[in-house]
Amino acid sequence: MNSLLKFRRPLSSSLTSLSLQRLSTTLHYVFEEKKEGTSFIHPTAIVHPNAVIGQGVSVGPLCTIGPSAKLGNGCQMHPSSHIFGNTELGSHCVLMTGAVVGDELPGHTVIGCNNIIGHYAVVGIKCQDMKYKLGDECFLDVGDNNEIREFTSIHRSSKSRDRTVIGDNNLIMGSCHIAHDCKIGNNNIFANTTLLAGHVIVEDYVHTGGATVVHQFCYIGSFSFIGGGSVVSQDVPKYMMVSGDRAELRGLNFEGLRRCGFQVTEVLD
């Protein structure tokens, strides 16, 4: 028994050392471009030869890049992230583990620069709308500097004449859903499990509480706040605060306006 234990200890130590070495190798690819400025593609990744890869791109283990994909300079794909269809990523985008961007559909998914696509988020896939006809073009356009967190889903448009649009500098927290043909402005914060149905328009500097649900075709005005757990079935005016099921007007969004730099005199006027 003692001899068996003596044998197992060095074996366990060797396996631990090997595991740490593999982990170090796996993590190393993320920082490779910072040292050399050249692209790094892990040998287990599947990259179609027709894909366009910029400089300083890092592609991790078990990633997939389709034939029509374009990756800008400095993009990072963490293990098991995937890019499909006619999809373009601007420079310095990051796809976390399990993220899926794009779909094998007519149309395109265009992601701007400096965006983070979180763990297991699904961005730019077919919409969940019965109006959509297979073979129709559908589109998603995303701006710059957005953080799209884990398990979020963002769908393409339902018709070729429309598109789903997300602007710049938005924080979209975990498990949110943005449906087909939505138009999202800039500098918005959507708390976890905010759900936007089709054709919703959200202007700028809007803040939603967690588990907010917005009915299709609703309009959410700039600088408004929606309380957590609200069900919004009507338009929300600019500068206002609403909450409840169904959401009701609760007054001016004083705190939100203050944080955005409005002076007291401006608000009172």
In angstroms, rounded to a whole number, what is the distance separating the alpha carbons of residues 156 and 31? Answer: 32
* Cβ pair 149, 127 in contact under 8 A: no
Give burial (CB, 10 Å; 0-12/13-18/19+) of 229. middle
Task: Say if strands 248-252 and 240-243 run parallel, antiparallel, or are unpaired.
Answer: antiparallel
* Cβ pair 211, 190 in contact under 8 A: no
Paired strand residues for 165: 141, 183
Which tokens in the block code for residue 195? 């759900």
Q: Give the catalytic positions in this structure.
A: 180-181, 198
Handedness of CA 262, 263, 264, 269 (dihedral sign): negative
